[in-house]
Amino acid sequence: MTTLKQPFRGRTDFLPSSGYRLLPFRLNRLRERQDHYVITNDVGEHVLLSKLELEDFVDHRLGTTTALYRRLKSKHFLFDERSRVAIDLLALKYRSRVARVAEFTALHMFVVTLRCDHSCHYCQVSRQSEDRANFDMTPSHAEKALALVFRSPARHLKIEFQGGEPLLNFPLVRHIVERAEALNREHGRDLRFVIASNLSRLTDDVLGFCKDHGIELSTSLDGPADLHDAQRPTKDGSSHARVMDAVRRARAMLGDQSVSALMTTTPAALERVEEIVDEYVAAGFRSIFLRSLSPYGFAARSLIRRYNVQDWITFFKRGLQHILDLNRRGYAMREEYTTVLLQKLFSPTGSGYVDLQSPAGMGIGGIVYNYDGAVYASDEGRMLAEMGDTSFKLGHLDEDSYKSMMTGDALLGPLEATVLESVPMCADCAFQPCCGADPVFHQATQGDWVGHKALSAFCEKQTAVLEFLVALLEDDAFARRTLLGWL
């Protein structure tokens, strides 16, 4: 280094001279990398280091000019006499991340009918029925639900139409959209709509309506035709062909990014992740959601028994590597679950993904208005109810007020229990800032909202995927650049 002439002072004049102090952090030993640890601070910034480095760090033995010292200081794992602003910045970052809790219930799911023309093996919330009277939402319930939508303080509101197959009750969809827009003229929220549909009934009439009202479409694509059609049976067995055709028409009318798709991992899918991803590429999708099976419903339970969480983790890793390979070859493709976790690691505001929140996203992230007027704290909560466990029913549109549902024990109980800072094992886990609580999962598998994380497939999956991601980010420069591009 060159020596500066007077009157300039040298670098050493500005180095911290005395010791440093630790800022709050958590650590996990990596399972697949001996003697290495990932440490995170309260806002999800992370550093990977060896056991020796970790010991030097906590024992205050790090030299102030070492690369590790600088890395840890920059990411607010320590501070020294040179600068105290780290504490203000950490506080600000923490506030930014938790600010979304005050903006509660952005997602409002309307189950406009339970009827469906598909009989998917993993689904517990549909009926093969023509009985509109018993399985369609009534306009009066829709009206009451809409009143609740606008009680939410969230500035951004999303109404998602669910089923069953919501397009089997399209007149109600139309009615709700028009009413919501009319009500919103007074409320002035950022209001968006999405229809979660198998798209088998995507008529030009529906498309025209979607175009006029800026409605997005979300559909299911389980992979190649044989796999998709085996898992998503219809009377004529043409679900795959129909969805591909519908996606094409929707894109032509609404734009390339108007349709998103997700898949469900069944035992039959486990060995075929590359084919599944390739099917998405062939259909022109730029993103895929590699989704594990949820243990709700008897059929799903029997399916899930045929593979364990390790199988799914292997499936996921293979899938993600394949997606990275596609990117390497020049096809920009993204995995949505990974994106959520990356946002939690790198974005100042984290991620709003309902299923990974602390406290749990139920009720305050999303809420479900069921076809029969019952209100559930989450989509999984209503699925559990179909199996007879109504723990997550907040009330009924005809009987209960907004206040009683949002402040009742059915919601506040699980919310209080799922603040991760106070959950056994989560409290000490380095991945806590990137994780969330899933009380419905633990209720279904262990009989209580919290569960024992050592026995939790949810925890196993989260830990494995996050370890995999932080190692990828560290080891593979191309993967790092690609993954950060998904933010």
Instruction: Specify the stretch interacting with another protein by CB under 8 A; choose among 67-75, 160-168, 237-245, 446-454.
Output: 67-75
Give burial (CB, 10 Å; 0-12/13-18/19+) of 252: exposed
Smallest separation (angstroms) from another protein to the CB of 291? 25
Nearer to another protein by Cβ, of 237 and 348: the residue is: 348
Residue 485 binding another protein, by CB under 8 A: yes
Is the Cβ of residue 7 or residue 330 nearer to another protein in the bound state? 7
To 10 degrees, what angle do helices 457-475 and 309-328 make?
30
Q: Whole-angstrom Cα distance, residue 72 to residue 23?
A: 10
**214 part of the interface to another protein, by CB under 8 A:** no
Indicate the residue among 94 and 150 with the shorter CB distance to another protein: 94
Site for another protein in 89-128 (CB under 8 A): 89, 92-93
Least distance in angstroms from the C-beta of 466 to another protein: 18
Among positions 18, 32, 34, 88, the unique one binding another protein when judged by CB under 8 A: 88
Angle between helices 336-346 and 457-475 (to 10 degrees): 70
Nearest to another protein of 275, 474 (CB atom): 474
Single residue of 51, 61, 84, 151 touching another protein by CB under 8 A: 84
Q: Shortest Cβ distance from residue 55 to another protein (Å)?
A: 23
Q: Which is nearer to another protein, 92 or 332 (CB)?
A: 92
Q: Scanning residues 336 to 355, which ones bind another protein (CB under 8 A)?
A: 346-348
| Torsion angle in degrees (nearest 10) through CA of 12, 13, 15, 19 | 110
CB of 470 to another protein, least distance (A): 15
Task: Report in angstroms how near the CB of residue 82 gets to another protein at its nearest.
Answer: 4
The footprint of another protein on residues 12-41 (CB under 8 A) is 13-16
| Contact between 379 and 368 (Cβ < 8 Å) | yes
Among the listed residues 36, 73, 118, 189, the single contact to another protein using CB under 8 A: 73
Q: Using the minimum distance from each CB to another protein, give the nearer residue, 13 or 409.
A: 13
- Pick the closer one to another protein by CB: 101 or 487: 487
Dist CA 24 CA 75 (whole Å):
12
Q: Is 335 in the site for another protein (CB under 8 A)?
A: no
- CA 185/CA 7 separation, integer angstroms: 65
Of the candidate residues 85, 282, 332, 427, the single one contacting another protein (CB under 8 A): 85
Q: Given the complex with another protein, which of 4 and 182 has the nearer CB atom?
A: 4
Rounded to an integer, what distance in angstroms lies between the CA atom of residue 280 and that of residue 278?
5
Q: According to CB under 8 A, which one of 21, 66, 83, 256 is a site residue for another protein?
A: 83
- By CB under 8 A, residue 6 contacts another protein: no
* Bridge pairing between strands 366-369 and 290-291: unpaired
Among positions 29, 82, 144, 201, the unique one binding another protein when judged by CB under 8 A: 82
- Residue 168 C-beta-side C-alpha neighbours within 13 Å: 24
**Residues touching another protein, count (CB under 8 A):** 33
Contacts with another protein by CB under 8 A lie at 1-2, 4-5, 7-9, 11, 13-16, 45, 64, 70-71, 73-74, 82-85, 88-89, 92-93, 346-348, 481, 484-485, 487
